[in-house]
């Protein structure tokens, strides 16, 4: 029994032993867990985070170093250093338009009159593509004609018309959505004056031809657009201009057949009164008695009656003598207000063209003091007796009643020459061939009418065709 009791006590004592966890209170255990967690973060997770952060900083430093190197390289190259960060221009969205020339640094540098840089060639070509300038032999010279074209582009954008192509303007000019030529209500310019003149010729406009795009001009343009199945918006677009300056433009009133005029009868003279003829006394059948008193009667043949004539009576002086009607010759525009007469034919046209050498180039003008290329051709044709409408260079090249000449080897004096610009899709320039490989044309490059060779590489590669008028 004692042994069993002792054994029981021993078992009770062992059951009362306290576990190690029970030695600490609940709060103490919480703090122990927290301290262990912090230690785990500090010695395990923190080194991993620091390693990743160090890697990111290394990559960033490498990128900065690479960027600095690129900037130094661009600074070493002046062309690259001055180039703007804008994307290079691409071709305009118009179907068939040529690719926009590459943008060089000088194109984004301010350009103005009398500047001479290679970038002017690119600027000139872009202005031709958008319809603000006629094509001409390329030049590095920023002249008055270039400034006028830039002013028209500024007018389209509702900007001040300074004629200066600064960097901001060139970014707009070489952008893919650059605005093509247009004229609208409130605009002024020689192009508007030329438009008014043609609208008046076709019967749409009866106001003053003054170069101001007013309400009357807008209404006339809308009527023209409606008649010719164009978009009726009252804005003079490139398509409207090409049609207006072509032989396909419809007049305001459809022409009606003109009846054959009856010949004017010649005036008849007033019938003259006839003087009653003098009567001759009937001769006596008997002769006077002889002096001797005899009664013998000697028969005598009656004398022949005298020939009577009708004596005219003078016309009444109060009645005027009718004068045959003379139809006056039509006055052919344009008129220079002078009495210069060139006659007709090839020599007359060339003589007229020679007289215009040195006069100013102005886009849209047709004389007598300034011209553009098609205006000069129109002026000289009319002075040489050719009846034609004022067309654009492109439309003059399509007048099919004039003989088509396809090769420069077949040219003759008096032929009209037609050229395009490098990469352009239509005829953009015209001149008059005077023989010997020379022509007379209104040059935007030289800002005047000039006589020059047409056999240079530029003209020969851009030759489209010629037309023989005479």
Domain ranges (residues) in the chain = 24-76, 105-182, 185-234, 346-468
Orientation of helix 215-227 relative to helix 190-201, angle to 10°? 50
Structure-token pair, residue 53:
């952060």
Strands (E), 124-181: none
Domain at 105-182: CATH code: 1.10.101.10
pTM of the predicted structure, to 2 decimals = 0.54
pLDDT the model gives residue 99: 55
Instruction: State residue 430's pLDDT score.
Output: 95
Other Cβ atoms within 10 Å of 132 Cβ, number:
27
Cis peptide before 368 (omega within 30 of 0): yes
The CA-atom distances, in angstroms, between 20 and each of 24, 25, 29, 328, 422 are 8, 11, 11, 136, 98
Across 306-423, the runs of DSSP E, i.e. the strands, are 360-361, 370-371, 403-405, 416-419
Contact 381, 396 (CB under 8 A): no
Total Cβ atoms within 10 A of residue 425: 14
Secondary structure (3-state) at 400: coil
Interatomic CA distance for residues 362 and 432, integer angstroms: 18
Under CATH, which number does the domain 185-234 receive? 1.10.101.10
Mean per-residue pLDDT pooled into runs of 10, the chain (470 residues): 60 54 62 74 65 60 54 45 46 49 59 90 88 81 88 94 93 92 92 90 92 94 94 93 87 75 62 53 47 46 46 45 43 46 89 95 88 94 91 89 94 94 82 95 90 92 94
Return the CATH number of 346-468, one of 1.10.10.10, 3.90.1720.10, 3.30.230.10, 1.10.3720.10. Answer: 3.90.1720.10
- Residues 6+ positions from 258 with CB-CB distance below 8 Å: none
Find the radius of gyration of the CA atoms of the chain: 50
Q: What pLDDT sits at residue 336?
A: 46
185-234 and 105-182 share a CATH fold: yes
């Amino acid at each position: 029994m004692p042994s069993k009791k002792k054994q029981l006590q021993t078992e009770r004592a062992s059951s009362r032993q306290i576990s190690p966890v029970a030695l600490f209170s609940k709060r103490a255990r919480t703090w122990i867990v927290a301290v262990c967690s912090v230690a785990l973060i500090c010695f395990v997770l923190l080194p991993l985070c620091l390693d990743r952060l160090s890697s990111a900083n290394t990559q960033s430093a490498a990128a900065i170093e690479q960027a600095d190197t690129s900037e130094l390289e661009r600074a070493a190259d002046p062309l690259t250093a001055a180039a703007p960060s804008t994307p290079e221009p691409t071709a305009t969205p118009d179907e068939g338009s040529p690719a926009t020339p590459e943008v060089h640094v000088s194109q984004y540098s301010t350009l103005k009159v009398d500047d001479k840089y290679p970038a002017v060639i690119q600027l000139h070509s872009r202005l031709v593509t958008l319809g603000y300038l006629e094509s001409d032999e390329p030049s590095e010279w920023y002249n008055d004609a270039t400034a006028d074209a830039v002013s028209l582009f500024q007018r389209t954008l509702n900007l001040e018309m300074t004629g200066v192509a600064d960097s901001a303007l060139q970014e707009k000019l070489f952008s893919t959505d650059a605005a093509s030529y247009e004229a609208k209500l409130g605009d002024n310019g020689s192009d508007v004056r030329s438009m008014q003149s043609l609208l008046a010729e076709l019967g749409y406009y009866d106001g003053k031809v003054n170069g101001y795009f007013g309400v009357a001009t807008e209404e006339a343009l809308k009527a023209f657009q409606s008649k010719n199945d164009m978009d009726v918006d009252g804005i003079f677009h490139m398509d409207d201009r090409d049609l207006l300056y072509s032989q396909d433009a419809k007049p305001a009133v459809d022409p009606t057949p003109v009846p054959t005029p009856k010949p004017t009868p010649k005036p008849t003279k007033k019938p003259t009164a006839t003087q009653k003829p003098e009567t001759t006394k009937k001769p006596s059948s008997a002769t006077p008695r002889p002096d001797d008193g005899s009664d013998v009667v000697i028969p005598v043949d009656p004398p022949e009656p005298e020939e009577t004539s009708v004596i005219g009576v003078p016309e009444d002086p109060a009645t005027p003598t009718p004068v045959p009607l003379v139809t006056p010759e039509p006055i052919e525009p344009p008129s220079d207000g002078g009495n210069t007469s060139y006659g007709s034919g090839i020599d007359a046209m060339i003589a007229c063209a020679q007289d215009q050498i040195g006069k100013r180039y102005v886009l849209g003008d047709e004389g007598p003091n300034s011209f553009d290329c098609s205006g000069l051709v129109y002026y000289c044709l009319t002075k040489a007796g050719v009846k034609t409408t004022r067309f654009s260079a492109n439309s003059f090249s399509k007048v099919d009643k004039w003989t088509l000449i396809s090769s420069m080897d077949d040219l003759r004096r008096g032929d009209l020459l037609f050229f395009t610009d490098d990469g352009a899709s239509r005829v953009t320039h015209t001149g008059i061939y005077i023989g010997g490989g020379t022509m007379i044309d209104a040059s935007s490059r030289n800002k005047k009418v000039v006589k020059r060779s047409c056999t240079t590489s530029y003209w020969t590669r851009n030759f489209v065709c010629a037309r023989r008028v005479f």
